[in-house]
Structure 1
Amino acid sequence: MHGSTHPPVEHPHGPADRCDVSSGLVIACDVGGTGIKAGLVDTRGRIRHARTVPTPVVPGDGAATATAVTECLVGLTGDLRAAAGARSRSVVALGVVVPGLVDAAAGVARYSENLGWRDVPFAELLASATGLPVAFDHDVRAAGAAEQRLGAGRGRRDVVFVPIGTGIAAALVLDGHAYAGEGWAGEIGHIDVGSGVPCACGGSGCLETVASAAAIRKRYAERTGRPVGGASDVAERMAAGDEDAAAVWSEAVEALSGVLAATAALVAPEVVLIGGGLSRAGEALLGPLRRRLDARLTLQRRPQLQLARLGDRAGLLGAGLLAWERAGVRLGSRDGSEDEPEPATTAQQSPAARSAGVQR
């Protein structure tokens, strides 16, 4: 199955903002575990106005969190409509992406471990509250599509995007289409790599328990008895000659290379893009990962391995692409021929909010 389809969920009276689509804007929202990014995106994939607010989490109550997030998104939509109006522009659609298991075709967030919700019909709720056509999907899958069409994957039809932070996931863009697998595709963080370490998913030995930024920090502290602030600190200590840091880093790279080799054998991507907080390690990560991956591959296509480009804008731009598709406009060709996005104009965004969702 190629791509994901979005339900024809609209306000009973149709979109509230009737206008020439080409002169309009869409609202994009990227819901994270700690922050919600929201912005206006134009027909060239440029973020024209953006803001970030804390995610309103109700501890221990996923249903209440879902309600609070819905209300927050409705409020942000109102604010961004006003911002669009100040530019004499109309809003033609709303795109929302969330973490966890997502049924994009139904517009439902099936499950989020971190936010605690189950079976929340966000597309229907938001369409009813805002009167806008709503596109809804998974955050990593949307970010991967943005990287393929507007970022480091431009010009490539087969791209795998792997953000590594608190967890690890993957977005598969095959023949220019984001592959959803009915919402199940891309959970590479829960492939068993043999570590034997219990995982929050209920399994053990998952890639996330060895190679995520959170795991690298935790494993170094457990090995040495010396707490560190994050995986970036482990990378710095490795560069300074710390053998324990080098061992923890090597274990992470080895596990990650095995999963990427299997991915390369299965879907033959032209390029693998590494994103998320751990990507800030740059060549300290990519160098050994390239060597390990190259050693594992034999008859398989050898993908290029490089850093993602869009950073923490990827999910927001992905939500914008989805919203434009919901309005009948596809931004960026499948082989990436359109202009790349420009930086956002940011409003009411604190330093803490700007870093929300980005793990060290």
Structure 2
Amino acid sequence: MRHVIALDVGGTGMKAALVGADGALLHQARRATGRERGPDAVVADILGFAAELRDHGARRLGEPASAAGVAVPGIVDEAEGVAVHAVNLGWRDVPLRALLTERLGGVPVALGHDVRTGGLAEGRIGAGRGADRFLFVPLGTGIAGAIGIDGRVEAGAHGFAGEIGHVVVRPGGAPCPCGQSGCLERYASAAAVSEAWAAACGDPDADAADCAKAVASGDARARRVWQEAVDALADGLVTALTLLDPRTLIIGGGLAEAGETLFTPLREAVRRRVTFQKLPSLVPAALGDTAGCLGAGLLAWDLLDDDTTDPSYPSEVTT
């Protein structure tokens, strides 16, 4: 059975699948990234994991994978297939595509940025399905974005397209590791909300999920912290929609798990800020933590460019 390898490498874990031409998930696996052992060990584990997936497919499906798609964090040169830099994995200038191609016996390999790859899946088969232009913004430890146009995700001339987390929304505000001050992710990421709520409630272990629960219960301190994050996020999103004019804004990541505790005030905050701009639909992401792996599968099928194969995935994915 014809299939591809899909691999999503995160800071703590790797998710993988063998994906059929009709989008069926023929095999799924997970394992720890093991970043505490250093970048060389992480690269070795990625190569080994991919080889295991190839061997499993050959044994169980009757043939090796036709291609592979891999999503990784950090700065990624997709055209050259190089993982340029990832702070959470500690690597620099890893020629991951070439290494994987060699390890997998010469099959074509696509390398993608984790957020853009997740955005590709959300745009084609998730919350943005059917939208010709969308912006996917996951709110996690940081904030990044994926700009979707006609079923593709824009990487930009230098691989930095979509870095909405480093749009300055509070000039002269909190310093950001990127070197600027007042960046969006310093106010509206899950990490930023966790930090602000821990300070407000006096519990150093409190996090963004705790803040959301306190908001829902009517805690005034939590509502102030939450509204500050929502206002900053709305400022960043309106800047983005002014430049990009997306039809759909897709919000994902850990903070989006708060559901309408986030989306109701966020929709209202965005609505208040738009003037001449067309208000896009603002929706939660649909694919959860499977988006990166599903997107990696799409990258792999795109490499094959085979008109006889339908690389679309089902509208609902069971994991």
User: Contact 1:70/1:126 (CA < 8 Å) preserved in 2?
Assistant: no
Q: What amino acid does structure 2 have at the position aligned with 1:98?
A: V
Matches within 5 A, 1:227-246: 227-246=204-223
User: Contact 2:75/2:83 (CA < 8 Å) preserved in 1?
Assistant: yes
**1:39 aligned onto 2:17:** yes
User: Contact 1:70/1:125 (CA < 8 Å) preserved in 2?
Assistant: no
CA-CA distance at 1:80 after TM superposition: 1.6
Q: Which runs of 5+ in 2 are unaligned?
A: none
**1:193 aligned onto 2:169:** yes
**1:122 aligned onto 2:99:** no
CA-CA distance at 1:46 after TM superposition: 2.7
Q: What amino acid does structure 2 have at the position aligned with 1:253?
A: V
CA-CA distance at 1:69 after TM superposition: 2.2
SS at match of 1:183: coil
Q: Distance in 2 between matches of 1:338 and 1:225?
A: 46
Q: Distance in 1 between matches of 2:238 and 2:119?
A: 19
Please name the residue that 2:182 is paired with.
205
Length-normalised TM-score, structure 2: 0.93
CA-CA distance at 1:254 after TM superposition: 0.2
**1:322 aligned onto 2:299:** yes
- The 10-residue stretch of structure 1 (212-221 or 110-119) with the greater mean CA deviation from structure 2: 110-119
- Which residue of 153, 178, 183 corresponds with 2:128? 153
**1:339 aligned onto 2:317:** no
- Which residue of 128, 132, 137 corresponds with 1:162? 137
Matches within 5 A, 1:274-353: 274-329=251-306, 339-344=314-319
User: Contact 2:4/2:300 (CA < 8 Å) preserved in 1?
Assistant: yes
User: Contact 1:47/1:341 (CA < 8 Å) preserved in 2?
Assistant: no
Check 1:71–1:164 CA distance in 2 against 1; reply closer, same or farther (3 A cut): same
1:261-295 Cα deviation digits (max 9, x unpaired): 01111111111011111111011101000001011
- The 10-residue stretch of structure 1 (196-205 or 216-225) with the greater mean CA deviation from structure 2: 196-205
Please name the residue that 1:273 is paired with.
250
Amino-acid identity (%): 47
- Which residue of 62, 65, 71 corresponds with 2:44? 71
Q: What amino acid does structure 2 have at the position aligned with 1:127?
A: T
**1:27 aligned onto 2:2:** no
When the two chains are superposed, the root-mean-square deviation of aligned CA atoms in Å is 1.8
Q: Distance in 2 between matches of 1:269 and 1:261?
A: 11
User: Contact 1:160/1:170 (CA < 8 Å) preserved in 2?
Assistant: yes
Q: Distance in 1 between matches of 2:237 and 2:193?
A: 18
Please name the residue that 1:50 is paired with.
28
CA-CA distance at 1:201 after TM superposition: 2.3
Q: Which runs of 5+ in 1 are unaligned?
A: 1-22, 345-360
SS at match of 1:144: helix
SS at match of 2:35: coil
SS at match of 1:92: coil
Residue correspondences, number: 314
1:105-132 Cα deviation digits (max 9, x unpaired): 0001111122222211110111112222
Q: What amino acid does structure 2 have at the position aligned with 1:74?
A: L
- Which residue of 95, 98, 102 corresponds with 2:69? 95
The answer to which structure, 1 or 2, has the higher relative contact order (CA under 8 A, 6+ apart) is 1
Length-normalised TM-score, structure 1: 0.83
- Which residue of 38, 53, 69 corresponds with 1:80? 53
Q: Distance in 2 between matches of 1:238 and 1:341?
A: 31
1:293-314 Cα deviation digits (max 9, x unpaired): 0111111121100111011010
Q: What amino acid does structure 2 have at the position aligned with 1:190?
A: H
1:156-212 Cα deviation digits (max 9, x unpaired): 110111111111111000233211103111111111121711222232211111111
- Which residue of 95, 107, 115 corresponds with 1:140? 115
SS at match of 1:186: coil
Q: Distance in 2 between matches of 1:235 and 1:193?
A: 22
